[in-house]
Amino acid sequence: MLGKLETVFSYTAHFILQSWPEKRPGILFLTDSGGRVINVMEMQVGQSWNPQGLDLMLHSVPCGHAWELTQEAFSTRGIVVRAWEDDHNLFGAIPLLENDGRVRAVIGIVTPESELDVDLLSYLRGLEPMIRMGYDAYIQHATSQIVMDLNLHDTTRELLISLTKQISDIIQKGYCSAVKLSESGLCIPQEIVTTQQVDEGQGEIAQVVARFGQAPVVPSILEENRIVSVPIICKSKPLYALILHLPPDEIDCTYDERDVAFLQEVGEKASNALWRAVLSDDLRREASKKDLLYQLMSKIQASIDVNDVLHEIVTSIPSLYPQLSVELFLTVEPNATTPVKQLSFQEAEPSTSTRAYLEGRLIVEKVEEEGQSTTVIAAPLLGKQGIYGVLQVTSDQRVSLSQHETDYIAILADTAGTAFENAQLYQQSRNLIRELRLINEMARQLNRSLDLKEILDFVTTMMGATFDAEFCAILSKSPGEDRFHVLSSSLPEFNGMTVHTNEKPFQEILQNKQALLLAQPGAGPLPFSLLPCCSLMGVPLIVEGEISGVLLVSDSRYHFFSFDDYKLLEIFGQHASLAMTNAVLHNEMERMVITDNLTGLFTRRHLNERVRASLEKDGYGSLILIDIDYFKNVNDTFGHQVGDEVLIQVSNLIRRSIRDSDIAARWGGEELAVYLPRVDKSTAHSVAERIRHCVEQETSPQVTISCGLAKWSKESDLDLSVESLFYQADIALYEAKNSGRNQVVLA
């Protein structure tokens, strides 16, 4: 049954009260499927009749004869009229049934038997058309309200989201979806608005849409009343299809004729509002196309950056037409990050893009692939001195492009051709200036930094920006090792990988201690396991006469690197080798200053500095002081060497149990400390318990620890000093040791 019971009853009651005999008192009430009263009204305005013992409290089960009457209506599923000897009132009830025969609600009437001059049973039998009239009035009102709301939305998507939600709220079962229709009335699955949650899976609505196949959508009821479709058509043009669909888990549920009537009424009345929204979107799309063309032309005149122009062209069409796919075919491989394909001239039958290139004109044709018909538009990238490639747009058969839209694609292709030509004319002069600037900038940047990671990232970025190669990396090799380790690369997934020194590129570099330039003359890639490539450059990093690493640049394109690139990479290698050596020495010295020699944890002084900095910049944090229980017994029993080993074991377990941003330090002797910036007390307690448990379970010889935990926050601890925080943790640690050890105590 459509809508909320109370709402539908208010419309139905209007017709019931109009048909009731004049000046005859009575009470009309409605119960839900559980027998609870959800609405009560008097049959006559201002009537004084109010029978005793008739309990029709809202949201409660009625008492007495009213209860017996409604229960009989529920059980018989038919009209019931009763009069009891102990009561002078007449009771009648008519059940409201679902399609499957279940009773959704009961309408009841109570009236004084002596004052009623009509047959109540006959009257109740005549109420069925009035109930239908009430439903029709409700549908009309609900539809009018929805259409009024739709006029408040500017975009098609906003309108459809509102429309499907309101339909779903009224029907109160399953989901409501709106699917765009092509000019021939076919579903376009790429454009769907649905009330179904995304995490419940788009596969279900996709399967529902697939049920309509390659046939135009017409008003239909499918799968035994579990799917209902109504196309919205305005001015003879199909716009969208409204679809009601039930999920598989709603087994005992179907849509009835009122749901279908409501959906048809909404589809008809909402067509004009939807038509206006579609037209408005089309106007905005046209304005966006003009703005995009203006931006593209401005970009070409302002700079010679072919990558930016190609990216704008390739992304502009899908942004305006999401159902279209775009491919770019070029005769040369540009220095661009936008994905492109190579034009092939070796096919037995030239493709659409190849013919557009050879003929130098725009081609539009239908292509059959795997039983699917598609429309392919190929526009040559024309310049004044030649053709540089082809812009190809592919659309599903259901999407038709107007002549105006095809001309727009041709303009984009001409823009791309002009960009290519300009880039070719200025490329060499820009390269010469760039190389000189790069050498100067690299030397200046490397000489001002002693941070190894910063140097590695800078050199990797510099190589990538300079050579426009697909892969750049810095590899290291320790003396006596037979492998190179990737320290930094332009592709992060390669960081940390290893390559054997007996591979051809490294073999030649190690043997000659000179830079290497390789180009594969054949059709296959170079024999290199790290990354398949057809062009490769490598420069050794030499420290004190020994090779400590290699700068590596590679690309899958043949003969991609020039001799100038080779000489430039050699200069990069000289600067990078010196800067990396200085950084390694500096980092080692810094590490020795702030690291405890035995445990590898930070020193107490460094911990104090980090805690002091956290107190200034963070909002809260926690400190854990750790003491190894009965550590003196370990030294006395096993010796100091074993005691040192236990201390190292505990330190390693602490490091394993905390984050990289946390600070673990040796506080003194067998006392250790962990500071957790921006960690609250409960989380810090969990960390401390995890450390305590690991130490108890994994040390050999087995030891336990006691922990004192202190926390701070700026809201409650104003002007807190490092010493005060450690004092609180130390007091808690003292309590932990005095109350049995092997535990965590909070300050």
Q: Which of 153-162, 286-295, 355-364, 686-695 has the lowest mean pLDDT?
A: 286-295
C-beta separation of 350 from 358 below 8 A? yes
pLDDT at 202: 56
pLDDT at 597: 84
Q: Is residue 443 part of a domain?
A: no
pLDDT at 334: 56
pLDDT at 30: 87
**Placement of tokens 């095809």 in the chain:** 406
- State how far the Cα of 240 lies from the Cα of 194, in Å rounded to an integer: 12
pLDDT at 694: 95
> What's the rounded mean pLDDT across residues 183-208?
76
Residues 6+ apart with CB under 8 A from 428: none
Q: Is residue 208 part of a domain?
A: yes
pLDDT band at 680 (very low <50, low <70, confident <90, very high): very high
pLDDT band at 519 (very low <50, low <70, confident <90, very high): low
- DSSP category for residue 271: H
The residue ranking higher by pLDDT, 647 or 384, is 647
Q: Is residue 483 part of a domain?
A: yes
**Are residues 522 and 580 both part of a single domain?**
yes
Residue 625's domain is classified under what CATH number? Answer: 3.30.70.270
**Are residues 740 and 611 both part of a single domain?**
yes
- State how far the Cα of 698 lies from the Cα of 665, in Å rounded to an integer: 20
Q: Is residue 511 part of a domain?
A: yes
> What's the rounded mean pLDDT across residues 20-27?
84
**Are residues 469 and 500 both part of a single domain?**
yes
Residue 227 identity = I
Q: Considering the chain, what percentage of its residues have pLDDT values greater than 70?
A: 88
pLDDT band at 641 (very low <50, low <70, confident <90, very high): very high
Listed residues 100, 126, 152: the one ending a domain? 126
pLDDT above 80 for 239: yes
- DSSP category for residue 216: P
* Cα-based distances in Å from 672 to 289, 315, 655: 66, 56, 11
- Going across the sheet that includes 546-555, the strands are 498-500, 483-489, 471-476, 546-555, 535-543, 516-519
Span 457-508, pLDDT tens digits = 888 888 888 888 889 988 888 777 888 888 888 888 888 888 888 887 777 8
Listed residues 242, 264, 279: the one ending a domain? 279
pLDDT band at 332 (very low <50, low <70, confident <90, very high): low
> What's the rounded mean pLDDT across residues 212-230?
86
The residue ranking higher by pLDDT, 170 or 693, is 693
pLDDT at 10: 77
pLDDT at 396: 66
pLDDT band at 601 (very low <50, low <70, confident <90, very high): very high
Residues 6+ apart with CB under 8 A from 679: 620, 621, 622, 662, 687
Span 28-46, pLDDT tens digits = 888 888 888 888 888 887 7
The residue ranking higher by pLDDT, 230 or 12, is 230
Span 338-351, pLDDT tens digits = 677 777 777 777 88
pLDDT at 99: 66
pLDDT at 53: 67
**Are residues 334 and 382 both part of a single domain?**
yes
Residues 6+ apart with CB under 8 A from 745: 706, 707, 708, 709, 732, 733, 735, 736, 739
pLDDT at 426: 67
pLDDT above 90 for 359: no
Listed residues 588, 615, 649: the one ending a domain? 588
The residue ranking higher by pLDDT, 727 or 447, is 727
- State how far the Cα of 81 lies from the Cα of 127, in Å rounded to an integer: 14
**Are residues 308 and 184 both part of a single domain?**
no
Q: Is residue 442 part of a domain?
A: no
> What's the rounded mean pLDDT across residues 275-298?
80
* Cα-based distances in Å from 650 to 202, 587, 607, 631: 51, 26, 18, 12
Top-ranked range on mean pLDDT: pick from 143-152, 310-319, 391-400, 673-682: 673-682
**Are residues 98 and 142 both part of a single domain?**
no
- DSSP category for residue 702: -
- DSSP category for residue 595: B
529 alpha-carbon distance from chain centroid = 35
C-beta separation of 106 from 95 below 8 A? yes
Average pLDDT of every residue of the chain: 82
Own/partner long-range contacts of 307-311 (Cβ < 8 Å, ≥24 apart):
307/334, 307/335, 307/336, 307/337, 307/338, 309/415, 309/416, 309/419, 310/334, 310/336, 310/338, 310/340, 310/416, 310/419, 311/336, 311/337, 311/338
The residue ranking higher by pLDDT, 59 or 589, is 59
**Are residues 584 and 626 both part of a single domain?**
no
**Placement of tokens 């510099």 in the chain:** 462
pLDDT above 60 for 9: yes
Dmax over CA atoms of the chain, in Å, equals 121
**Are residues 148 and 53 both part of a single domain?**
no
pLDDT above 60 for 200: no
**Are residues 13 and 114 both part of a single domain?**
yes
- State how far the Cα of 413 lies from the Cα of 404, in Å rounded to an integer: 15
If one counts the domains in the chain, the total is 5
**Are residues 307 and 346 both part of a single domain?**
yes
**Are residues 414 and 496 both part of a single domain?**
no
pLDDT above 60 for 1: no
pLDDT above 80 for 182: yes
**Are residues 237 and 169 both part of a single domain?**
yes
> What's the rounded mean pLDDT across residues 96-117?
81
* Cα-based distances in Å from 310 to 413, 428, 464: 10, 20, 19
Strand-strand pairing, 37-42 and 27-31 = antiparallel
Q: Which of 189-198, 218-227, 368-377, 540-549 has the lowest mean pLDDT?
A: 368-377
Phi-psi region of 482 (alpha: psi -120 to 50; beta: other; left: phi over 0): alpha
The residue ranking higher by pLDDT, 431 or 289, is 289
The residue ranking higher by pLDDT, 650 or 508, is 650
pLDDT above 90 for 734: yes
C-beta separation of 559 from 475 below 8 A? no
Top-ranked range on mean pLDDT: pick from 421-430, 562-571, 620-629: 620-629
Residue 65's domain is classified under what CATH number? Answer: 3.30.450.40
pLDDT at 633: 92
pLDDT above 60 for 397: no
Q: Is residue 433 part of a domain?
A: no
Q: Is residue 286 part of a domain?
A: no
Phi, psi torsion values for 570, nearest 5 degrees:
-60, -45
Which of 589, 592, 577 has the alpha carbon at shortest distance from 456?
A: 577
Count of C-beta atoms within a 10 Å radius of residue 92: 23
| Domain with 72 in it | 5-126
pLDDT above 90 for 652: yes
C-beta separation of 33 from 21 below 8 A? no
pLDDT at 335: 55
> What's the rounded mean pLDDT across residues 139-162?
86
The residue ranking higher by pLDDT, 265 or 648, is 648
The residue ranking higher by pLDDT, 519 or 279, is 279
Q: Is residue 330 part of a domain?
A: yes
pLDDT above 90 for 701: yes
Strand-strand pairing, 363-369 and 546-555 = unpaired
